[in-house]
Amino acid sequence: MKRIYFLVPSVELAHAIVDELLLARVEERHIHILAKVGTPLGDLPEASLFQKSDFIPAMERGLAIGGITGTMAGLVAVALPTGMVLGGGAVLAIALAGAGIGSWLAGMIGLDVENSRLKNYQSAVEKGELLLMVDVPRERVEEIHQRVQKHHPEAEFEGTEPTIPAFP
């Protein structure tokens, strides 16, 4: 899946584009709108906490750092002459525990941080524009882009994000 970004100047145009996307068989759960606080979106699909915060990238970083830290701690535990004999299973268990704890803690911190991937759009959103994020399969990116631009040329295509996480 890829995420396509459009900046839309008004709520009315956002409604028209969302209707167009629904007709193109893009599920509503794959459409997210980020607007200035206090903007009445009505029945438009508002971006969730996962899209607004840095939760997913923070979890990814925490998973990597926690896994590395856990592996190092496991190797140190095996190398120390404590009288206990620890095998490779202990190293694996400590590495997995480190990865789990690291991703959980980093994710909790990431919930309080604005999404770093949306910094480029923050000034436009603060001016009153709406950021429309659409998650589509790679092979449909060009089709969706063309469809939106054809029917709504005033919507500014802002590009795509290389990949999006599968679970948010």
Pairing, β 31-34 against β 156-161: unpaired
Task: Give, for all 168 residues of the chain, the pLDDT tens digit.
Answer: 888 888 888 889 999 999 989 988 999 999 999 988 888 888 899 888 888 888 888 899 999 999 999 999 988 888 877 656 677 788 899 999 999 999 999 999 988 888 777 888 888 888 988 998 999 888 988 888 888 888 788 877 777 776 555 444
Q: Is residue 166 part of a domain?
A: no
Q: Collapsing DSSP states into helix, strand and coil, what is residue 160? A: strand
**In a shared domain, residues 14 and 61:** no
Q: Is residue 61 part of a domain?
A: yes
User: What are the backbone dihedrals phi and psi of residue 127, each rounded to the nearest 5 degrees, phi first?
Assistant: -80, -5
**In a shared domain, residues 39 and 72:** no
For 79, the domain range is 55-110
Q: Is residue 31 part of a domain?
A: yes
What is the domain count for the chain? 2
**In a shared domain, residues 151 and 139:** yes
Q: Is residue 19 part of a domain?
A: yes
Task: Please check whether residue 84 is in contact with residue 25, taking contact to mean a CB–CB distance below 8 angstroms.
Answer: no
**In a shared domain, residues 39 and 7:** yes
Q: Is residue 14 part of a domain?
A: yes
**In a shared domain, residues 11 and 47:** yes
Q: Is residue 18 part of a domain?
A: yes
- Report the candidate in 68, 54, 150 with the shortest Cα–Cα distance to residue 106: 54
